């Protein structure tokens, strides 16, 4: 058998490994669970914030441990219709774009570790956490406030009926 087979099978093996990694990390991080409910058809209008996602994971303690290198690939876009999250184009396999309505986004904590500030958001009912930079949070905060006010009005309407 000639040694030329490695030039054929090595690229195939690398691609299969990359795809398997995408599947596993999508499942572990909770992205797939979110995509079942909140898949976006098209990005909303607005200015996307690339490289402002610091971590994504299934729980507050695991957020920074998972996807540390992948997080630079995510774009976050706050809009009136919700919070849009998108992975970079070469990493879209099992990572469809998400549009999460504001009533499914809540702030869980603000952290300051070694002078690096971040904000943690819980997305959906599946308890997937995303950590964002202060700049991204400043752009997200007005929508969260409006959503909280809307939820209070709806709750008041239900109790007065």
Asked whether residue 105 is domain-assigned, the answer is yes
- pLDDT reading at 78 higher than 90: yes
Give the span between the Cα atoms of 19 and 57, in whole angstroms: 19
Contact 118, 54 (CB under 8 A): yes
Choice among 6-20, 52-66, 68-82 with the minimum mean pLDDT: 52-66
Asked whether residue 6 is domain-assigned, the answer is no
* Mean pLDDT (the chain, rounded): 77
Considering Cα of 68, then 72, then 144, then 80, what sign does the dihedral take?
A: negative
* pLDDT value of position 84: 92
For residue 134, the enclosing domain spans: 29-160
CATH of the domain at 154: 2.30.29.30
Asked whether residue 120 is domain-assigned, the answer is yes
Asked whether residue 139 is domain-assigned, the answer is yes
How many other CB atoms sit within 10 Å of the CB of residue 111?
14
Asked whether residue 15 is domain-assigned, the answer is no
- Over the stretch 115-151, which tens digit does the pLDDT of each residue have? 778 888 888 876 788 888 899 999 999 998 776 656 5
Q: Total structural domains in the chain? A: 1
Banded pLDDT at 155 (limits 50, 70, 90): low
Asked whether residue 124 is domain-assigned, the answer is yes
Instruction: Name which residue leads in pLDDT, 107 or 65.
Output: 107
Local structure of residue 44 (DSSP, 8 states): P
Per-residue burial over 39-75, b = 16 or more CB atoms within 10 Å of its CB, e = otherwise: ebeeeeeeeebeebbbbbbbeeebbbebbeebbebbb
Asked whether residue 155 is domain-assigned, the answer is yes
Choice among 85-89, 92-96, 155-159 with the minimum mean pLDDT: 155-159
Instruction: Name which residue leads in pLDDT, 154 or 80.
Output: 80
Banded pLDDT at 65 (limits 50, 70, 90): very low
Give the span between the Cα atoms of 26 and 56, in whole angstroms: 10
Mean pLDDT confidence for 67-88: 77
Q: How far is CA 105 from CA 49, 94, 121, in A?
A: 17, 22, 7
Tokens 């957020």 belong to which residue?
63
- Over the stretch 2-47, which tens digit does the pLDDT of each residue have? 667 777 888 888 888 877 776 776 677 777 788 888 988 888 888 8
Helices vs strands, H then E, count in the chain: 3, 8
- Over the stretch 89-102, which tens digit does the pLDDT of each residue have? 666 666 788 899 99
């Amino acid at each position: 058998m000639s040694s030329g087979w490695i030039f054929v099978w090595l690229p195939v093996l690398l691609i299969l490994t990359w795809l398997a990694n995408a599947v596993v990390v999508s499942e572990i991080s909770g992205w797939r669970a979110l995509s079942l409910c909140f898949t976006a058809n098209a990005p909303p209008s607005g200015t996307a914030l690339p490289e402002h996602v610091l971590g994504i994971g299934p729980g507050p303690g695991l957020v920074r441990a998972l996807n540390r290198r992948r997080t630079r690939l995510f774009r976050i876009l706050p809009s009136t219709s919700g919070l849009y999250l998108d992975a970079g184009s070469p990493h879209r396999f099992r990572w469809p774009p998400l549009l999460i309505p504001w009533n499914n986004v809540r702030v869980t904590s603000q952290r300051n570790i070694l002078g690096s500030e971040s904000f943690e958001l819980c997305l959906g009912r599946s308890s997937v956490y995303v950590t964002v930079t202060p700049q991204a949070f400043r752009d997200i905060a007005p929508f969260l406030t409006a959503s909280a006010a809307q939820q209070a009005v709806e709750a008041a309407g239900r109790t007065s009926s």
